[in-house]
Amino acid sequence: MTDRTLLRAGHVISMDTSVGELPKGDVLIEDGRIAAVQPEISADAEVLDMTGRIVIPGFVDTHAHLRVASNIHRDVQWSYAVNLAYGVTTARDPQTGATDVLSYDDEVRAGNVLGPRIY
C-alpha cells in the first residue's frame, strides 16, 4: 500500500514555474516524495492542516561535510538530524575522512538511520 499524506491549505512555494507560489495550496506526498501540487482530493491520504505554515521543497546541499564518526556506526547521527531539521533533504559529501558515509547512505536508504539522501 502507498503511504500518502496531503498537506492542506499551506502557503506553498513551488519550484515548478507553472505553479509558482500559492497562498493557500495543497501538496500530495506519496512514499516520502512530492507527487502533486494542487491534486484532486485523495480519500486514502492522511490530511495534515498546514494553515498558517509555509510548505517548500527540501533543500539540496551540494557541498556538505557531514562529519560522521569513523568506524563507529550509530543509530542517530547528529549532523544528519540537524540537516533535516533545517530542511536539507539531499546532501553531497565531496570529501570524507573515511568510507563510513557510504554505509550510512545505505542505512538511510533502508530507513534504519534518519537523514537526508546522501550522494
Q: Residue 99: what residue type?
A: T
> What does the DSSP assignment read for 50-117?
-TT-EE-PPEEESS----PPTT---S--HHHHHHHHTTEEEE--S--SSTHHHHHHHHHHHTSS---E
Residue 1 pLDDT > 70: no
The residue whose grid cell reads 512555494 is 13
What mean pLDDT comes out for the span 69-90? Answer: 85
pTM of the model: 0.71
pLDDT-based confidence at 6, cuts 50/70/90? very high
